[in-house]
Amino acid sequence: MLGSATNIALEVAAEAGAPGGFVERLIATAFDPAWNLEHRIVIFAAIMGLLFLSGVGLPLPEDIPLTLAGFTTIKQANDQFLLAHYLMTFALVVIPILLGDLVAYGLGRRYGLGVRERIGILRRTLSPPRLARVHAWFDRYGAFAVFLGRQVAGVRFVTFFTAGTIRMPLPKFIAFDFLGCVVSVPIWLTLGTLASRYGEAWLHAAMSRASQVILLVVVLVVIVFAVVTKLRNGRDKAETNPPSDVR
């Protein structure tokens, strides 16, 4: 059993780490400036769609598509940092973010907490502890709570929804939400630019050790499985044949 599992691990690692392996080809494609430029419309459509869906309450992280936006911006500029491209990307990602946040604001303003009964998925998102936390922010910081909510992944939707329920003026909501984007969005875009510059070398270095890591993980899993199976068999045997009393 151990021998066959080890062989499988080595085969998978060889395929992943070999020059013609799937992972190597995937890395080469992702880091290819020509590929990013050719598919720029599809890439940014997917990024903007994910950001909008995240804003309307679906459990999707904003950080990943924002990082990808910074990454592909550098690649589409042939690995150069061009301020005009960076600013254009900022606008392209902020627009769907604000639109998604406005949906959350609109739901709160029009329907209030009753929307939890109409849309089942929101019952967990708009949980009493989260609502209490956000209401405390509004009581303490006023409109600035919208800025704070933009920085905290777990309560963004709840914050913007609450802003609607308390009928915060729309221009003020947009202003503080945009201010939050000005602070948080460039951080993830910059992380993406750094990944585009230095990530390929790091990934190739990691792939050179992939076979060792996979082999180690498989061996550990096999050992744990064997030990657990042996202990379970011994326990079952003891329960089936309990020792007789010695008189």
Q: What is the pLDDT of residues 177-189, one digit of tens each?
A: 999 999 999 999 9
- What pLDDT, on the 0 to 100 scale, is given for residue 121? 74
Contacts of residue 39, Cβ cutoff 8 Å, sequence gap at least 6 = none
Split at pLDDT 50, 70, 90, the class of 240 is low
What is the share, in percent, of the chain residues with pLDDT greater than 70?
A: 72
Instruction: Specify the pLDDT at position 91.
Output: 95
Least confident of 47-51, 158-162, 194-198: 194-198
End-to-end CA distance of the chain: 44
Give residue 124's pLDDT: 78
How confident is the model over 113-122, as pLDDT tens digits? 887 777 777 7
The string of pLDDT tens digits covering residues 193-238 is 888 887 766 655 555 554 455 455 556 666 776 676 667 666 656 5
CA pair distance 190, 86, nearest whole angstrom: 9
Q: Does the pLDDT of residue 247 top 50, yes or no?
A: no
Band the pLDDT of 239: cuts 50, 70, 90: low
